[in-house]
Structures are given as C-alpha cells and as structure tokens.
Amino acid sequence: MNDREAEQAWALRMIAEEEEKGEFLPNGFAGIIPKRRGISPAAAKFVYKTIRGTFKSPRDVVEELDLWVVDECTHVGFCVLVCLENKKIVDSYIKKGDVKLLDTLTGKAMQIANNTVDAKLIKELLPDVIAVNFNGQGK
C-alpha cells in the first residue's frame, strides 16, 4: 500500500468511526450528498497530514479550519465565481471545447473554496454553468 492509499484508508476509517457515533457524515467519499456535513477527499488528506504526530482528532482539525464541505447551491456559486474570474479560460473552453480546461477551472474553484467543495461536482456543474451564464455549449 502506497502513502496515498494509506492516507485514504485512514481517512475513511476515521470518518466511519465518527459516523458510528453520529458525529460525522462522509460526503466527499460517498459521492454527492447535498446538505450533509462531511469533508472532501482533498480535505481528508490535508487533515491526515495535519494531525500526523499530534494528539488532535480529525474532527478538531475540521472544526478549527472549517473544512466542512458546502452544499450543492454553494457549488454552483463557486462555479460562477471561478468563471467570472477566469473569462479567458472560459472563452477558450467555449471555442475549443477542451475538457482539460474544466480541470483548470475546477482546481481554481478548489483553491478559492479552501478544498471545501467536491471537485467531481464542480467539474460536473461547470459545463452547464458556462452554457447558461456565458453563452457556451452545455454537455
């Protein structure tokens, strides 16, 4: 098992233990579950690295840094925001249809949101947000 797999397994195990207590619901790992508290996979990796070698619990770090994943409506808002701040990339996506540009926009959304958004959901929503708000082509 490599480091990445170990981190992921650890995060899943810790969240499962917290969920059994009814304190922590896995959102980013289970897919898109709007309006449930959870953390994204990127945040889980960050939490793992942050508490390694300390006595902090995963929940303490998530609470302290406010890493709870946001709901679906907020994801749409981040999509619009990142598109407004990166009009050249959006225009290029509209003209060329290069799906790799969606990865770039998704990464920028993750940065803006401090990894509290679900990257898969952002990437899924971006084409529709661009189509509706920027005269682009939808899926």
Q: Read off the CATH number of the domain in which 99 is found.
A: 1.10.10
The pLDDT-based confidence of 139 (bands split at 50, 70, 90) is: very low
Spatial CB neighbours of 54, under 8 Å, sequence gap ≥ 6? none
Q: Is 37 part of a structural domain of the chain? A: yes
Model pTM above 0.85: no
One domain, residues 78 and 120: yes
- Percentage of the chain exceeding pLDDT 90: 24
> Quick one: 135 exposed, middle or buried, by C-beta within 10 A (0-12, 13-18, 19+)?
exposed
Provide the number of structural domains found in the chain.
2
Q: How far apart are the first and last CA of the chain?
A: 37
Q: What is the pLDDT of residues 31-69, one digit of tens each?
A: 333 334 567 777 788 888 888 888 888 878 887 887 777
Tell me what pLDDT residue 108 has.
94
| Domain closes at, from 40, 65, 90 | 65
Q: What is the pLDDT of residues 70-123, one digit of tens each?
A: 677 778 888 988 999 999 999 999 999 899 999 999 999 988 887 778 888 899
122: closest CA among 68, 70, 67, 47? 70
Q: Is 36 part of a structural domain of the chain? A: yes
Q: Is 139 part of a structural domain of the chain? A: no
What is the spatial distance between Cα 109 and Cα 89, in angstroms, rounded to a whole number? 13
Could you give the C-alpha distances from 127 to 22, 42, 54, 101, 134, in angstroms and in order?
Answer: 36, 22, 42, 11, 10
One domain, residues 12 and 61: yes
What b/e sequence results for 94-114 when a residue is b if at least 16 CB atoms lie within 10 Å of its CB, and e otherwise?
eeeeeeebbeebbebbbeebe
Q: What is the CA radius of gyration of the chain?
A: 17
Q: Is 138 part of a structural domain of the chain? A: no
One domain, residues 45 and 76: no
> Quick one: 123 exposed, middle or buried, by C-beta within 10 A (0-12, 13-18, 19+)?
middle
One domain, residues 76 and 93: yes
One domain, residues 13 and 36: yes
What is the spatial distance between Cα 20 and Cα 17, in angstroms, rounded to a whole number? 5
| Domain closes at, from 21, 43, 65 | 65
One domain, residues 56 and 76: no
**Which amino acid, one-letter code, is at 134?**
F
One domain, residues 40 and 89: no
Tell me what pLDDT residue 37 has.
55
One domain, residues 76 and 55: no
| Domain closes at, from 33, 65, 97 | 65
Q: Which domain holds residue 57?
A: 3-65
